[in-house]
Structure 1
Amino acid sequence: MVQELKSLALYEDIVEILNKDDFDLYWKGFKKSPFALYNSTTVVLCNHPNPPEDFSPLREAYIGSWNDSFVGNTAINLNGHYTAILNMDTLYSLDSSSSLNKVYSILVHEMFHCHQLSHNEKRWADEMLFINYNFSQRSISLRLMDKDYLLCALDDQNKYTRDKLLTDFIQRRERRKNIVGSMLNYELALESIEGTATYVEVKALAHRKNMDVMDVAEDFLHNFDFEDLNKYRASCYAFGLVICLILDSIAPNWHEEFTNSDTYLYKFFKAKFGSFNELTDFSIDNYYVESAKELINKYVDSKKESFENFNKSEGYKVILYGNLKLSGFDPMNVISMDNKVLHKNFIKYNSSCIKDQALSFHKEDFWTVDKIEFFVSDKPKVFDHGILTSKGTFYGEVSEDNNIFCVDLYNEQIESN
């Protein structure tokens, strides 16, 4: 009840800000959307024209029980209307104005995804590309150079030197494209979708704090770890943010043209920047080569450690066997190795959700899974044709051996708790 009241109080604060805010300040044509604040038990839904039938009106909002439609901080289609959702269990303290500003800016980020969806956005990242991403020393060396040139260009107020830095950035990215091929599209898509959403998030936070956008952006960029390959996906957000900020200076009023195009943000920026000479021969400074080597080694070691730690988890191990169709996961919190994917937050199969850590085993088709493993602290209860666990009820043939419960699922039935 305490957390429910906190969510209601925060909802009222956010509605007050929303009513005064003009999203056109952040992105031309950007409109507000319905939103929901939720925790592990309760959902507070606002400005939704068609709330779920089991939601009850309260203080001009709607209150309902949590279900697995509400997972992560994202945008969902709820009863025919794109809705921004925020998980209050994973966000900041609700006790200070700075936290309110931060939560509000994150909500604007997710509302921008609603905006993208409502405009039939097609530039979404194919998460399969990252699951199979092959980090090579040469590619990472060039990406580290990308980062330095781009950040220096953002800070440079001299047009001549800025344009030289941007040319260097484009030349090396084009060379890297020749190395990684279509894998680069994963980065370009994230820059286009998440980079632009981060850009409006920064502008909303700057507006709330009455600060310069560039000062807030600098704080954001300090929080992005470009040199941890486990955070590679998030670093693409930062690349996109910087490209958006540079576009503001070289092509004012670019928002609507980009929204109505089907071009990746980087390619849109490259066209606005103008011609450049293709790089035919260059050397990579040994600093970048050694840094890339170290980053890749750390990444490989950390992946091995994550899988080892999962397998050492305390409690009872549950193994599900079946022909399961992957329907959702948190791409910010997965680690892949061979045909296995470790999900740190949640995984959805069919219409069901298993929260917290789970390990999935994939066939050649990534979206088809034949085994899931997870741990529970309390001993599962076996009944005729299934088991009951803290993470769900699973129907099938059950066998038990030394604190390991195996379930050969019937028709992939799962009822999540």
Structure 2
Amino acid sequence: MDINNDNDIKRLVEKISEQITLEKLNKIWKGFNITRFALYKENKGYLSSTCEDKSLVKEIEWNPQHYGNTCILYNNEYLGIWNLNTLSHNANFDRLFASIVHELFHGYQSVFCKKDYANELKAATYTFTKEVVKLMLMERQFLYQAVMETDNKLKQNYINSFIVCRSKRISLNREDILYDLTIESHEGTASFVEYKALKMISGNTKDHLASFMWNKLYKPKDIIKHFRKGLYATGMFICLLLDEIAGDWQQEFQSTNILLYDLLLKYYCPKPSELINENKDCAELIIKNYKQKQEDNFNMFNEQQGYTVNISGNIELRGYDPMNIVSRNNKILHKHFLMIKAGNQELVLKGVIICEHNTNFAKIKKVSFKMKNEPKQQNDKVLLFEIGEIKALLQKENNIYNIIV
């Protein structure tokens, strides 16, 4: 896609709007009715029209606190948003359309689906042992085979093996597995909707697109690194299984608090079976590589250019990208951005940021980041160039700037 100026962006918004109709959305998921979205870059957004007028694109000033590709509440309306700077030079219109439908579905979920959201910080404290990783690898292998298999007897065997593996993993750590089940129920269904939107607009076959989406979301060697993203894939594939064995499951799913995996268990009763002890060596290598990646990511912070700034005191966590966090002991590294409230001021920090916590990861003890320009004390406020200002005390020690809120 060629996107060189405002007119190109407006035409792209109009083209996407023409495809997002209530009729199409209802074919994807009954009752799905969130249609408005915005594309944005830097400080300008391009808001799609209403259903009544598909040709009107509205330019709006972009709030920097609306960050990433997601769904936001804008003027009391759920809005899918997409950052144009994240599009590659060979971006595909069909995939962009389907991705925006994914984000729109999150707005629909917020209004109509009775589900609790996952505790996103659980990903930072998740327990990855060799046994857990081995079972995760086996689960995903069996789930993929269950969806792609055409022979009914083999399909049933694969479904059974998937459930037996997961049951074993649940018995090892029931608290951690709740994170899997809630992400699958929220993001997995949105990925299923994305898959159906892509299938509708591209005309490609189920097998081709299911395989494409699976490979896009899940890579065995990165099963820990991209753990959350892999749950999009398992959730989507559970939806595909439910399409085959449960008929009109969507209404039951969204009108109750049942989780996606539990709904599968309602329609499929597993039989006890023995698991082959495979993937052990692979699991050991994955964990070893993951621990090295943790070290590399934290070293990345020290390699950044600029002045080191620490903020400590009264700090609240306001927003972050759960797909790009890495934990080590009592610290969490955010690879792209972090939104905090320091004192009474909300700040958006960009780049690599490290948060230090106590035992509760929702409570921030200290935030460390780099700046191109030195922070300045001005009366009772500290000025942070290109970030904002906060009422605080600035101290400098060994070329490190400490801001106490």
TM over 0.5: yes
Aligned to 1:232: 227
Aligned to 1:262: 257
Deviates more, 1:290-299 or 1:215-224: 215-224
Match of 1:335 among 323, 326, 329: 326
Q: Deviations over 1:166-187 (max 9, x none)?
A: 1111111101101021110111
Aligned to 2:242: 247
Structure 2 counterparts to residues 14-29 of structure 1, below 5 A: 14-19=16-21, 22-29=24-31
Aligned to 2:109: 116
Q: 2:321 and 2:50 mapped to 1: Cα distance?
A: 25
Letter in 2 for 1:226: P
Structure 2 counterparts to residues 3-42 of structure 1, below 5 A: 3-19=5-21, 22-42=24-44
Aligned to 1:361: 356
Is 1:200 the counterpart of 2:193? The answer is yes
CA spacing shift, 1:338–1:27, aligned 2, 3 Å:
same
- Residue 3 of structure 1: how far off its partner (Å): 4.4
Segments of structure 2 that go 5 or more residues without pairing to the other structure are none
Aligned to 1:106: 99
Q: 1:255 and 1:120 mapped to 2: Cα distance?
A: 10
Corresponding pairs, count = 394
Aligned to 1:291: 282
Q: Tell me if the contact between 1:199 and 1:244 (Cα under 8 Å) persists in the aligned partners.
A: yes
Q: Tell me if the contact between 2:117 and 2:186 (Cα under 8 Å) persists in the aligned partners.
A: yes
Letter in 2 for 1:39: K
- Residue 201 of structure 1: how far off its partner (Å): 0.5
Q: Deviations over 1:97-148 (max 9, x none)?
A: x622111111100011011111143232111221211101111111111111
Q: Deviations over 1:218-246 (max 9, x none)?
A: 11212221331110110000111111111
Q: Tell me if the contact between 1:226 and 1:232 (Cα under 8 Å) persists in the aligned partners.
A: no
Q: Deviations over 1:290-329 (max 9, x none)?
A: 1111101111110111101212211111111122111111
- Residue 203 of structure 1: how far off its partner (Å): 1.1
Is 1:81 the counterpart of 2:77? The answer is yes
Q: Tell me if the contact between 2:17 and 2:49 (Cα under 8 Å) persists in the aligned partners.
A: no
Letter in 1 for 2:150: Q
Deviates more, 1:21-30 or 1:201-210: 21-30
Q: Tell me if the contact between 2:34 and 2:78 (Cα under 8 Å) persists in the aligned partners.
A: no
Q: Tell me if the contact between 2:21 and 2:35 (Cα under 8 Å) persists in the aligned partners.
A: no
Letter in 2 for 1:29: G
RMSD between superposed Cα atoms in Å: 2.2
CA spacing shift, 1:5–1:383, aligned 2, 3 Å:
farther
Q: Tell me if the contact between 1:321 and 1:408 (Cα under 8 Å) persists in the aligned partners.
A: yes
CA spacing shift, 1:31–1:214, aligned 2, 3 Å:
farther
Match of 1:212 among 194, 205, 208: 205
Segments of structure 1 that go 5 or more residues without pairing to the other structure are 50-57, 410-417
Letter in 1 for 2:181: L
Q: 1:99 and 1:238 mapped to 2: Cα distance?
A: 20
Runs of 4+ in 1 over 6 A off after TM superposition: none
SS of 1:152's equivalent in the other structure is: helix
Q: 2:31 and 2:126 mapped to 1: Cα distance?
A: 35
- Residue 402 of structure 1: how far off its partner (Å): 4.6
SS of 1:311's equivalent in the other structure is: helix
SS of 1:302's equivalent in the other structure is: helix
Q: Tell me if the contact between 1:196 and 1:241 (Cα under 8 Å) persists in the aligned partners.
A: yes
Q: Tell me if the contact between 1:38 and 1:70 (Cα under 8 Å) persists in the aligned partners.
A: no
Q: Deviations over 1:363-394 (max 9, x none)?
A: 22222212111112334444333133233334
Q: Deviations over 1:24-68 (max 9, x none)?
A: 22112211332111112111122469xxxxxxxx96232222213
Aligned to 2:404: 408
Aligned to 2:61: 65
SS of 2:64's equivalent in the other structure is: coil
Normalization by structure 1: what TM-score? 0.89
Q: Deviations over 1:58-101 (max 9, x none)?
A: 962322222134111111112221111111111244xx7x6221
Structure 2 counterparts to residues 77-156 of structure 1, below 5 A: 77-93=73-89, 99-156=92-149
Q: 2:198 and 2:373 mapped to 1: Cα distance?
A: 43
SS of 1:187's equivalent in the other structure is: helix
Q: 1:403 and 1:255 mapped to 2: Cα distance?
A: 57
CA spacing shift, 1:20–1:185, aligned 2, 3 Å:
closer
Q: 1:154 and 1:360 mapped to 2: Cα distance?
A: 41
SS of 1:60's equivalent in the other structure is: coil
Q: 2:220 and 2:265 mapped to 1: Cα distance?
A: 22
Letter in 2 for 1:227: K
Normalization by structure 2: what TM-score? 0.91
Aligned to 1:53: none
Match of 1:376 among 368, 371, 385: 371
Deviates more, 1:103-112 or 1:394-403: 394-403
Structure 2 counterparts to residues 41-60 of structure 1, below 5 A: 41-47=43-49, 60=56
Q: Deviations over 1:240-294 (max 9, x none)?
A: 1111111111122221121112111111011112x22345x64512xx1111111
SS of 2:392's equivalent in the other structure is: strand
Q: 1:8 and 1:262 mapped to 2: Cα distance?
A: 39
Letter in 2 for 1:292: A
Q: Deviations over 1:183-229 (max 9, x none)?
A: 10111111111111011111111111111233112112122213311
Q: Tell me if the contact between 1:382 and 1:388 (Cα under 8 Å) persists in the aligned partners.
A: no
